[in-house]
Amino acid sequence: MTASAFTVLIPARMRSTRLPDKPLADIAGIPMVVRVAQRAATSQASRCVVAADDQRIVDACSQHGVHAVLTRDDHPSGSDRLAEACTLLDLPDDAVVVNVQGDEPLIDPALIDAVATELHRRPDCVMSTAAHAIDRHEDWINPNVVKVVTDRDGTALYFSRAPLPWWRDAPATPTLPSPAPLRHVGIYGYRAGFLRGFPRLAPSPQEQLESLEQLRVLWHGGRISVHISAHAPGPGVDTPQDLDRVRQLLKTPGAIPPLP
């Protein structure tokens, strides 16, 4: 494996409460998880693999030429599922893995490459991720929008659902602080050895309070490097309304960069 090589792993589970059978949701005749894999395959990854909890996902991927592995169906998180996938794929401990969520059919391949590159250039970090500048006050104060604060080298100091950083003398009018706060993007790079050991780390109090799994890494002393993207990623799919939005975007000429 070369110094810059990496593998994309895409966790996919059928038991979504807000959108049943989400990985197989039809998007212009193609299952969503297959669309994610097809976009990820246009990155510089050496291979893209779906880590599924259901044989139906594996079968759908196979029909479209996408590599998939069947993992246990009782994993509590996507990280646990990917840890098993690393073992099934026999990835060496120093292999770089990028976790692309299975509900991101409009993922930018360049963002995948950037997250992998970030981890390759930061041997002091066990993980990498991404963020972009927030430009709307309502996003900054929205607890569903996760914020990240970094040090001068781009290493994460903290992730939170709270509006961070918060200024002491906040104005009465709704205004964003300067420099702009950062919105965390849910894409992660790992080294396979760390990822395999992650499920054995005890959850942290902050993780349980904020419901943010990456806080477990910081609590145990791990460092996470953050790539700052110039723009927000394409919309993900959590609800039927999100699915309709993505379907409409794909029908709009020029709205989404085509696959090579």
| CATH number for the domain harbouring residue 99 | 3.90.550.10
Better pLDDT: 2 or 179: 179
Residue 33 has pLDDT above 70, yes or no: yes
Q: How far apart are CA 3 and CA 167, in angstroms?
A: 42
In a domain, 255, yes or no: no
Find the domain containing 189 and state its range. Answer: 6-250
According to the model, what pLDDT value does residue 255 have? 64
According to the model, what pLDDT value does residue 18 have? 79
Q: What is the mean pLDDT of residues 21-30?
A: 93
Residue 259 has pLDDT above 60, yes or no: no
In a domain, 258, yes or no: no
Show the tokens assigned to 164: 């961070």
Mean pLDDT of the chain: 92
For residue 248, the SS3 value is: helix
Note the pLDDT tens digit of each residue in 141-168: 999 999 999 999 999 999 999 999 998 8
CA distances from 126 to 85, 120, 260 (A): 18, 10, 32
According to the model, what pLDDT value does residue 233 have? 87
Q: How many domains does the chain have?
A: 1
Peptide bond just before 258 cis, omega within 30 deg: no
**Of all residues in the chain, what percent carry a pLDDT higher than 70?**
96
In a domain, 257, yes or no: no
Better pLDDT: 249 or 61: 61
According to the model, what pLDDT value does residue 1 have? 43
Distance of alpha carbon 60 from its chain centroid, rounded?
22
What confidence tier does 254 reach under pLDDT thresholds 50, 70, 90?
A: low
Question: What single DSSP character describes residue 74?
Answer: -
Residue 235 has pLDDT above 70, yes or no: yes
Residue 195 has pLDDT above 90, yes or no: yes
Residues 104, 37 contacting (CB under 8 angstroms): no
**CA quadruple 16, 18, 20, 22: dihedral, nearest 10:** -70
According to the model, what pLDDT value does residue 16 have? 76
Better pLDDT: 3 or 178: 178
pTM for this entry: 0.93
Show the tokens assigned to 114: 């950037």
Better pLDDT: 16 or 60: 60
Sign of CA dihedral 232, 233, 239, 240: positive
Burial class (CB in 10 A: 0-12, 13-18, 19+), 72: exposed
Question: What single DSSP character describes residue 138?
Answer: H
In a domain, 47, yes or no: yes
Residues 61, 67 contacting (CB under 8 angstroms): yes
Q: How far apart are CA 133 and CA 17, in angstroms?
A: 30
In a domain, 156, yes or no: yes
Q: What is the mean pLDDT of residues 220-232?
A: 96
Residue 2 has pLDDT above 60, yes or no: no
Q: How far apart are CA 223 and CA 128, in angstroms?
A: 8
**Alpha-helical regions (H) of the chain:** 32-40, 55-63, 78-88, 109-121, 137-140, 192-197, 205-210, 214-219, 240-251
Q: How far apart are CA 195 and CA 208, in angstroms?
A: 19
In a domain, 260, yes or no: no
In a domain, 259, yes or no: no
According to the model, what pLDDT value does residue 169 have? 85
According to the model, what pLDDT value does residue 101 have? 94
Type of residue at 158: Y
Among the residue ranges 90-94, 185-189, 228-232, 254-258, the one predicted with the least confidence is 254-258
According to the model, what pLDDT value does residue 77 have? 86
**Of all residues in the chain, what percent carry a pLDDT higher than 90?**
81
In a domain, 1, yes or no: no
